[in-house]
Structure 1
């Protein structure tokens, strides 16, 4: 399945599972109703920032938007490399590979290759679930701004953060940077109503 078709199906499945209308998800996420409709019909190639807003509105991680919804039998605890979804952000060109199997673990792993000189910013939308993230640098250099703090990561460095504030990723180097993202989701604290 094409990655945009996978995202389209997944956003629709998650929205339907929560009983949200397009208007309700638009209000919760800050993404326009028309944009959500285009995404769900596979007619838009959304940016990482838009997908992060949708993920926050749906109370899931960004990585969850790339998973296949298991049908029938229980999902496999194995994710073969050939089956791992790969997506490229149309705005920055960063490439992410979801490494984790779709077995609904509270931990997800993502491999990212980030082009030199590029930047991606997430606004830190309010989330119903508490998501913790660690970024472990494999190669190259990245600058992460977490809230007001600026961190420079080089190969071997690891930074932990909670996804509850604005975060920006920037590759100041001359070569692509590669890093592993580990995400852990905790149960909802104060559920919002749609």
Structure 2
């Protein structure tokens, strides 16, 4: 299924865009609510996030499926992790989250699939995420959603190159990287096949 995914590194997607899903609609509505709660105009949010007003407007109206990098920037502005944001558009969480009920979100432009493994809970700091990167996928984030975020990255299959603090770490199957994120990061599938990994995230 990955053969049709463009192998590009994108910071923001305006066009072309894949069709919106039901999650995109709920997510867009929540983003609009968060901006309204802050009393910000689209222009003010654009200045804070570094994203264009047209892109923000299209994301809020679910006219485009947002990329991971775009959501990461907005999470940073609103002081949330991505799992927190996604949990806010779902039903009240239970202590056990069955595999079939775990939220799966796909950045179809960059070839990144994110599964929220942990049952969402606003009062707890840690969470588990499964990530999959298609062959050739390359994603960069210009900042963490929460400064000082602690991450433990364990590669389950494939080869993953992670760049943080200007240093690239090449991880093979079974390798684990622990880091605290303050600045830009980059995740790159460095092998000839899809890379699958577990990411443990702990908010400071």
TM-score by length of structure 2 reads 0.80
CA deviation map 1:70-97 (0-9, x unaligned): 77xx642222222221111132111111
In structure 2, the partner of 1:8 is: 28
Q: Which runs of 5+ in 2 are unaligned?
A: 1-20
Instruction: Spell out the pairing of 1:1-194 with structure 2 (5 A cutoff).
Output: 2-69=22-89, 75-104=93-122, 105-124=124-143, 129-186=147-204
CA deviation map 1:154-181 (0-9, x unaligned): 1111112222111111112111110011
In structure 1, the partner of 2:8 is: none
Judging changes above 3 Å, is the alpha-carbon distance between structure 1 residues 21 and 145 closer, same or farther for their aligned structure 2 residues?
Answer: same
Report the alpha carbon displacement of residue 149 of structure 1 after superposing the two structures with TM. Answer: 0.4
The size of the alignment, in residue pairs, is: 183
Q: Which runs of 5+ in 1 are unaligned?
A: 187-194
Judging changes above 3 Å, is the alpha-carbon distance between structure 1 residues 16 and 128 closer, same or farther for their aligned structure 2 residues?
Answer: farther
Tell me the SS of whatever aligns to 1:182: strand
Report the alpha carbon displacement of residue 69 of structure 1 after superposing the two structures with TM. Answer: 4.6
Alpha-carbon separation, structure 2, partners of 1:121 and 1:32: 18
Aligned partners of 1:135 and 1:158 also within 8 Å: yes
Alpha-carbon separation, structure 2, partners of 1:151 and 1:179: 14
C-alpha RMSD of matched pairs (Å): 2.2
Alpha-carbon separation, structure 1, partners of 2:119 and 2:73: 23
Tell me the SS of whatever aligns to 1:4: helix
TM-score by length of structure 1 reads 0.83
